[in-house]
Amino acid sequence: FHAAGKGGLGVLHAAAEAGPSHYGIGVDRDQDDEHPGRVLTSMMKRVDAAVFAAVKDLAEGRWKAGERVFGIKEGGIGLSPMRHTRHRVPKAVFERLSKLEKQIRVGKLQVPKTEEEVQVFVPPTV
């Protein structure tokens, strides 16, 4: 898993060269097509959702300058569709991810935001 945008493509290339038991995880956008079958998934930043929300707020007279969070709850991040690797992940994993995502969206599960919160975080059972 790299966190280097386009600069991290070397990580995906290295995973592809390492053989069929190795996978890379992309970031920022759907990078699944960079090395089909070797990129397990991509953690996508939904910049479009953030821009849409800001423009909508502006059009409706509600826009305010400042920091705004767009995480899972706000639809600002998510996994790629996994067109080339979805079949390799057990259905139960997707079911669990879906349950966790729903818990985050409805506020039942709070994602830690600070190092201190991470230290006391108790992962949920699903």
Q: Which residue ranges make up each domain of the chain?
A: 5-87, 90-121
Mean pLDDT of 18-36: 93
What does the block give as tokens for 104? Answer: 């985050």
Q: How far is CA 116 from the centre of its chain?
A: 22
- What pLDDT does residue 101 have? 95
What does the block give as tokens for 80? Answer: 């790629």
- What pLDDT does residue 6 have? 81
Backbone angles phi, psi at 11, to 5 degrees: -65, -45
- What pLDDT does residue 16 have? 94
From the list 66, 79, 98, 101, the residue with the least C-alpha distance to 30 is: 79
Q: Alpha helix (H) ranges present in the chain? A: 9-17, 47-59, 91-105, 115-120
Tell me the pLDDT tens digit for each residue of 79-108.
999 999 999 999 999 999 999 999 999 999
Q: Which amino acid is at 22?
A: H
Mean pLDDT of 104-116: 94
- What pLDDT does residue 97 have? 95
Say how many Å lie between the first and final Cα of the chain, rounded.
Answer: 24
Per-residue pLDDT band at 5 (split at 50, 70, 90): confident
